[in-house]
Structure 1
Amino acid sequence: MRLLLDTLVLLCRQSEERIQFSPRLSFFHGEMSTGKSTIAELLDYCLGGGLQKTPAVQSELVGVQLQAVTGDVSLLIERNPSTSSSVELTWEGDGEVGRENLPIAAGERPAVGDDIYNYSDFLLRHLGSPLLKVRKRKGDPDSALQRLSFRDFYKFCYLDQPDLDSSFFLLEQPIRMEKSKDVLRYVLGFHSDRLNELQNDLSEVRQTQRTMRETAKQLDEFLQRYGFNSKDQIGFEIDRLNDEEEALEVEIEDQGKVGLPASTVAEEDQLLVNGLTVAIASKTDAVSEIGQRLNEQESLIAEFIAMKFKLVRSSTASELLKGAEFQACPACGTEVAPKSDGVHCVLCRSDLDTAPGGFEGGSAVMERDLSDRIDDLKRSVQRLKRSHEKRRTELGELTKARTEAQTRVDSARKQVESEYMRRARKLEARRGAIKERRSLLMRIRGMPGEVEAKLLEADQLSAKIAELERDIQTEQSRFEEGRSNVRALERNFHLLLRAIHFPEIKEDDKVFLNQRTWFPYIHPKGNEALAWTFSDAGSGGKMVLFKICFALALHLTAAQRDLPIPRILVVDSPMKNITPDINPEIFQHFYRELYRLLQSDLKAWQCIVIDQTYFEPPEDFADHAQRLLTKSDPQHPPLISYYHGH
């Protein structure tokens, strides 16, 4: 999987910055904030990653180009910061020349040829790697397949500064760790083309089986909702419709013989109008009678109130004139007899035996009696008013109903078509509905059988699934070469840790690669109970060295055993958290071992190193380049030569 980076070009607002890479070793070093890490980040960006928007990049970068070689194909990769979803790619080689705007994410249709759906597919294809698909969830045999992308491989080739001491190739991240595991399985020989094909076939057969069963389930639920989920039910419904159609035919024939029905809809409405008219008249009389009684009682209340006032005045007059002796009539002035005969009134000469005797002593009782009668009448008036209002409301409803019925009568009388024809049409419409319903039932009569056939066919696929699972197990049992690669990786990792003088790593310590988690563990003196790994290393510097050594061991094993991994290694700040002047031994031994590997087993690899301090390769190290980046030395400018903002 040859990947050779040649030139990185930064198109800036005021300049064009060009970074030339050596095919063997390129070392970038110098001061902080001069753009060293930005070189690796822009390489990652050109290879499909995201853009790290530092202040300099955000304010000055207009575009970026990368000239590279994949296999025997020369590439010109162009990206624009304003477009994050695609890569402009121009290629030449293998007898073909092309230019395409390839999407980062795969779409539904191929972008190039028949099987290249995105930028990652293009890179993998020209690196000589098959387009692999793996299960999204390993513990779920029904899980959908997903692609392994170039980015999944590149995380083992680009060791970026932020993740050097915080993440071990994303193997600790629950969502993203499965792809890292899949890459290690493939690189180390635990994933073959045959296995990939079998897993694809198994996924397709399972998907077909799920589709059949889901289709049968939905069809059965639909038929069950309308009561047609069995042939017997459909047959029973067809027989019922046939019987109803026969009865309908008889009714149609009888209607033709008998003629018009005895009562039409208009006549029925007219009868309703007549009945409502009688009810309205009765209700009107009731309303009138209640109104009359209401008026009488209201008049009676007024009379009682007036009488009460008269009684009050009479009582007052009697009280005032009590004991008075009249010399003359107060009305006409006629002198009265000086003496009474005891039989007649002195004043009006009325018979005293028949006179009421005034209101002495009984006026209060009479006033209370009048008040009670007035209260009784008021309550009666309230009841009459409620009854009157209710009757008026009922009268209004009856009147409205009669108006509607009369409107129907008038409308029916205006229609030319007779009630006979309307009823005949109604019968014909029902007969048509019966025929349509029966036709539908005849068409779906075979559906219950189709449901059973689908389920039977889905069950038959279980045998095919079992066969494919056996083939997959057989193929996986052949991975003896993969197990041999794992043992070689364990040996190389231990040798590298010893070679760089990793703290507390002894010759009799053992390295164990857990093939479930794919974390390498150190067993001090072979004691598994004392095992530790990346997250247990303690200091940040040890975690950095642990991760870099594992990556070097993986690439060394790939070189020794011809394993499929891109032949490039980009390390940003291998001495992160390690001070060269305080830990000179580790600093020197690491770079000496790195240069030794690049001159021997990894001589076909391209290595790009970014660090603050430069370590000179040996004199016999051919074809290497180094660049110093500073803020103030014009001979060694920063990445963007004119920019000094941050």
Structure 2
Amino acid sequence: MKTNLSPKMIINKLILIGRDKNYIVPFSSGLNIIFGDSDTGKSSILNLIDYLLGASEVNMYDEIEMHGQYALLEINLNDQVYTIKRDIFDSNAYIEIFKAPVDQINQVFPKEYGPHSRKEGPSGYLSEFLLESLNIPRVKLKQAPSKVDSKMSTLSFRDIFKFCYMDQDEVGNKDILDQKNHSVFVKNKETFKFLHHLLDDKITLLQEEIGEKNRAKQSIIQQFTIVSSFLREARLESMESLEDKFTQLKEALQTVDLEILDITQSMKANSEQDEEIRKLVIDKQGQQDNLSMSRMYKETQMDQNLRLKKDYLQDIDKLTASLEVIRKMPKNESHHINCPICDSELKAAKFNEIFSHYDSTSIEQEIKSLKNRAKELTALIEQDREEILKLISEADTVQDEIRRAKELLDIKTQDFVSPFIAQRDILLRRRGEITEEIKRVEYLKKLRNQVNDLTKRSDQLANQIEELNSQLEILAASAPSVDGVLGGIGDILNDFLRKIPIRNAYGISISKNTFLPVVRDKDYSKLTSGGLRTLVSVGYLISILRNSLGSQTNFPSLVMIDTVGKYIGKTKPKYLSLTNQAEDRAEGLSDPLKYKNIYDYLISMCEDLLSKHDFQIIVVDNDLPENMEEQLEDNVVKKFSAVPREGYEIGFIDNATQRA
């Protein structure tokens, strides 16, 4: 039987809910590996987990922004499974938590928590939920530990998680755990002491936590009493009764659906004999549509001819008037006439000069030509009119045929189909009633689950109080010493670095001043080789985890590292300035055996301890050590390739456009 002396936190599943599909990453206890090409979304998986556990933001690279909606995290906290739901586009929105696995969240009501200390949710803060679920006391840490009157700051889950997760910028970083930021680093050191029960006022804090949990338990008992009384008065059935009713309703719904299907098939069989009539109606309607289109075309054509004829007649009138003017022009050029508009005197010579270029013969010929065209148009218009009347008559005939066919179809439908329709309507109403009843029963089941949850919560608090009391007794009897804790973690780190192995593996310990690694009697920040810092920082987190499995600590049983191969012969250009490359070569860090030995150590650790304790290590890297793919096959949860490759996904968002 597995026993964990420290809090248990295991990631079961990460799901990014997308617009087109869902993107699922399953995890298990022990070693979990994600590897593949650059820019395929490996780091985003750890980033999403971190975000769902309260980080202030998520790395929204293009594919996630285009395809994602929200994220779900199924997580085991001290053997209770929860599902955390968070909006990836609004980091300030409430975080929903379901006390159920992902596939059962529709059976329970979620609770809403504030994402950070500046926004409290209806159920409190996410940090408080995580600490309480892990049975980690909510305490305040001194901002200046050496001062008696130091101000206090609240310990959050995010403070603890810094010791669980190193992203690719932090692995091998000189300033691990924010050493350059004094106030933050002081809190990180206090958090380390809290994780390992090294705070001087630990006993007082435990007593305070026990008191808070006792008060919370009494509050839940009062809530349970009130709710139980209400449910008894409302005569709400038991969960067993509701489950039976739910099963019966589901069976009744299935029966009704089968009856509706039978009637639909019967209606279809009876309607086959009416198919010829329906086909006739469809054909006639198509014929009627064609007649309407032909009529529209003819009417448009006739309208155009009428307009053209009108233009011709207007031109004839104008030419006739011109001809009349020419005929009446005075022959005597000395003759004077008066202007019909202004009554001024005009000489006939001037008048004849203006109109001399007009030829009456050409005008008469043009008039004759226009009259012939108008006559032709008259004939075309009459022809169009006759064809339109013919089309109207044909359309009326077809409409009458459609009407008679529909009347016959209505009679047959009334005789054969109407009874089926009536029966089907009755069944559909019955189906609606059953569906509504199912929804009501589901709601009542959720209420019952909520009541049961109060009972479980009370039991959980009782167990936590009992466990805290045990811790209090142990602390009172023998509080752990700083030397003992740091010595234990240092011994594990020493073992790790010797198995890699690093050169000159001596003077390995944990500093009493910084609680960070010391190698060759040098503080971690003084190590100039980025590759050596990578090995030491990875070993540091693994050592803290391994120590927590055999000791009572407040450290959750999870470590996430991105990327374990940094500076070890696989340094990205942007990190080259952060390491002394000559020192890296002197350390022999390009030796592939060192890279392989990291994974050998992790595999050996899992083989030795997983049968006794539940813990989880999630690592991200660009590839696996040579000749280890088969050995690590069961530990690989995702492997990505930027180009199509058998057995690999093209990226976390595997339906995105392939990268160039």
What is the distance in 2 between the residues matched to 1:41 and 1:110?
Answer: 23
Q: 1:28 aligns to what?
A: 34
What is the distance in 2 between the residues matched to 1:480 and 1:20?
Answer: 37
Once the two structures are superposed, what CA deviation does each residue of 1:277-332 show, in whole Å capped at 9, x if it has no partner?
Answer: xxxxxxxxxxxxxxxxxxxxxxxxxxxxxxxxxxxxxxxxxxxxxxxxxxxxxxxx
Q: CA deviation at 1:583?
A: 1.9
Taking the TM superposition and a 5 Å limit, the aligned residue runs for 1:469-488 are 479-488=479-488
Q: 2:203 aligns to what?
A: 194
Q: CA deviation at 1:111?
A: 4.6
Secondary structure class of the residue paired with 2:66: helix
Q: 1:215 aligns to what?
A: none
What is the distance in 2 between the residues matched to 1:644 and 1:620?
Answer: 32
Tell me which of 634, 639, 642 is aligned to 2:652. 639
Q: Is 1:145 matched up with 2:157?
A: no
Secondary structure class of the residue paired with 1:121: helix
Q: CA deviation at 1:62?
A: 1.7
Q: CA deviation at 1:623?
A: 6.1
Q: 1:106 to 1:142 in 2, by over 3 A?
A: same
Taking the TM superposition and a 5 Å limit, the aligned residue runs for 1:213-612 are 479-505=479-505, 509-522=506-519, 524=520, 531-579=521-569, 582-601=590-609, 604-612=614-622
Q: CA deviation at 1:190?
A: 0.6
Once the two structures are superposed, what CA deviation does each residue of 1:346-400 show, in whole Å capped at 9, x if it has no partner?
Answer: xxxxxxxxxxxxxxxxxxxxxxxxxxxxxxxxxxxxxxxxxxxxxxxxxxxxxxx
Q: 1:34 to 1:622 in 2, by over 3 A?
A: closer
What is the distance in 2 between the residues matched to 1:621 and 1:601?
Answer: 17
Secondary structure class of the residue paired with 2:130: helix
What is the distance in 1 between the residues matched to 2:616 and 2:143?
Answer: 32
Secondary structure class of the residue paired with 1:89: strand
Q: 1:623 to 1:631 in 2, by over 3 A?
A: closer
Q: 1:150 to 1:623 in 2, by over 3 A?
A: farther
Secondary structure class of the residue paired with 1:600: helix
Q: 1:101 to 1:480 in 2, by over 3 A?
A: closer
Contact 2:58 2:88 in 1 (8 A): yes
Tell me which of 638, 641, 651 is aligned to 1:627. 638
Q: CA deviation at 1:34?
A: 0.6
Q: 2:189 aligns to what?
A: 181
Q: 2:624 aligns to what?
A: 614
Q: 2:47 aligns to what?
A: 41
Secondary structure class of the residue paired with 2:110: strand
Q: CA deviation at 1:579?
A: 2.2
Contact 1:493 1:553 in 2 (8 A): yes
Q: 1:481 to 1:111 in 2, by over 3 A?
A: farther
Q: Which runs of 5+ in 1 are unaligned?
A: 201-474, 525-530
Which amino acid in 1 is paired with 2:564? P
Q: 1:107 to 1:518 in 2, by over 3 A?
A: same
Contact 1:24 1:623 in 2 (8 A): no
What is the distance in 2 between the residues matched to 1:128 and 1:623?
Answer: 32
Q: 1:283 aligns to what?
A: none
Q: 2:113 aligns to what?
A: 102
What is the distance in 2 between the residues matched to 1:51 and 1:570?
Answer: 16
**Normalising by structure 1, what TM-score?**
0.51
Once the two structures are superposed, what CA deviation does each residue of 1:40-61 show, in whole Å capped at 9, x if it has no partner?
Answer: 1111111111212223233332
Q: CA deviation at 1:480?
A: 4.3
Contact 1:134 1:196 in 2 (8 A): no
What is the distance in 2 between the residues matched to 1:197 and 1:564?
Answer: 12
Q: How many positions carry a matched residue from both structures?
A: 357
Q: Is 1:60 matched up with 2:67?
A: yes
Q: CA deviation at 1:198?
A: 8.6
Q: CA deviation at 1:620?
A: 8.8
What is the distance in 2 between the residues matched to 1:100 and 1:128?
Answer: 19
Q: CA deviation at 1:586?
A: 0.7
Contact 1:92 1:98 in 2 (8 A): no
Which amino acid in 2 is paired with 1:52? N
Q: CA deviation at 1:561?
A: 2.0
What is the distance in 1 between the residues matched to 2:493 and 2:608?
Answer: 17
Q: CA deviation at 1:17?
A: 0.9
Q: CA deviation at 1:176?
A: 1.3
Q: CA deviation at 1:108?
A: 9.0
Q: 2:219 aligns to what?
A: none
Contact 1:188 1:486 in 2 (8 A): no
What is the distance in 2 between the residues matched to 1:46 and 1:120?
Answer: 11
What is the distance in 2 between the residues matched to 1:52 and 1:186?
Answer: 30
What is the distance in 2 between the residues matched to 1:632 and 1:551?
Answer: 34
Q: 1:91 aligns to what?
A: 99
Contact 1:21 1:625 in 2 (8 A): no
Q: CA deviation at 1:162?
A: 1.2
Contact 2:13 2:25 in 1 (8 A): yes
What is the distance in 2 between the residues matched to 1:618 and 1:636?
Answer: 13
Which amino acid in 2 is paired with 1:611? D
Secondary structure class of the residue paired with 2:522: coil
Tell me which of 5, 19, 36 is aligned to 2:25. 19
Q: CA deviation at 1:549?
A: 0.7
Which amino acid in 2 is paired with 1:20? P
Contact 1:48 1:104 in 2 (8 A): yes
Q: Which runs of 5+ in 2 are unaligned?
A: 1-6, 102-106, 210-474, 571-588
Secondary structure class of the residue paired with 1:510: coil
Q: 1:619 to 1:59 in 2, by over 3 A?
A: closer
Once the two structures are superposed, what CA deviation does each residue of 1:487-518 show, in whole Å capped at 9, x if it has no partner?
Answer: 1112111111111112331xxx2234332322
Which amino acid in 1 is paired with 2:75? A
Secondary structure class of the residue paired with 1:83: coil
What is the distance in 1 between the residues matched to 2:476 and 2:136?
Answer: 20
Which amino acid in 2 is paired with 1:89? I
| Structural RMSD (CA) | 3.1
What is the distance in 2 between the residues matched to 1:67 and 1:560?
Answer: 26
Which amino acid in 2 is paired with 1:46? L
What is the distance in 2 between the residues matched to 1:81 and 1:44?
Answer: 12
Which amino acid in 2 is paired with 1:103? G
Which amino acid in 2 is paired with 1:185? K
Q: 1:109 to 1:590 in 2, by over 3 A?
A: closer
What is the distance in 2 between the residues matched to 1:478 and 1:110?
Answer: 40
Which amino acid in 2 is paired with 1:101? E
Contact 2:71 2:85 in 1 (8 A): yes
Q: CA deviation at 1:631?
A: 2.1
Secondary structure class of the residue paired with 1:130: coil
Secondary structure class of the residue paired with 2:618: strand
Q: Among all aligned residue pairs of Structure 1 and Structure 2, give the percentage whose two residues are the same amino acid.
A: 20
